[in-house]
Amino acid sequence: MQLHKEGYRIIAWSFLVIIIVNYFIHTHYHIFWLNSIFSIISLIAFMLIVYFFRFPSRSVKAAPNEVVAPVDGKVVVIEEVFEPEFFKDKRLQMSIFMSPLNVHATRYPVSGKVIYSKYYKGKHLVAWHPKSSELNERTTIVVDNPVIGPVMFRQIAGAVARRIENYSKVGDMVEQGADAGFIKFGSRVDVFLPLNTDPEVVIGDKTRGGETIIAEVILD
């Protein structure tokens, strides 16, 4: 299983802490059943931490005017909204919610040039809250695609998430499906597309980051 680079340090520290705590328990409490239960719980906890930072390889098969899901999760929003930060006009917003068990790597929904990348320190409302897109800790990235124009996606921290890693820098040339960052624990990603877009998913659908085609932009 391939692991995301954001997990290396956390996994190493978790392993060290578990070893130290288990050593202390086993040397100070000579109760077989208690030691066994604690060892099993420790092993399960460590496996869950490793599982959280998995980074599966994905193959992108999309047409030039198609947009892929930036993350694994469930589609929770498909609606026209006014986007005030960058476009300052109406866009089609598509939002994907990630549970703690989903892959939390963020991938680029389209290829192109990064023309905007900004971090906002904010609140930690639950990720499905309607105001989380505007009030929570978040990063906003805009990629200018040569076929469909600029596409915005926003990494949003949830009630549990406490750190967003964003690799996008203005001027970077990026590939659709490539690693764009990581949100540590429960969170959500919003994608803002032109109004001349046909969604390829419906609310409640499950997505696979870098693989599921979520929309097709209708070209003139």
Residue 187 annotated in active site: yes
Four-residue CA torsion sign, 216, 81, 205, 131: positive
Q: What is the residue-wise DSSP string for 57-88?
A: -------TTEEE-SSSEEEEEEEEEEETTTT-
CB-based contacts of 187: which residues, under 8 Å, 6+ apart? 98, 104, 127, 155, 156, 157, 158, 161, 164
Single out the residue of 146, 78, 152 nearest to residue 108, CA to CA.
Answer: 152
- Give the C-alpha separation, 193 to 79, whole Å: 10
Place of tokens 């203005």: 170
Q: Give 138's DSSP letter.
A: E
Catalytic position from the list 117, 132, 133, 187: 187
Q: Active-site residue numbers?
A: 187
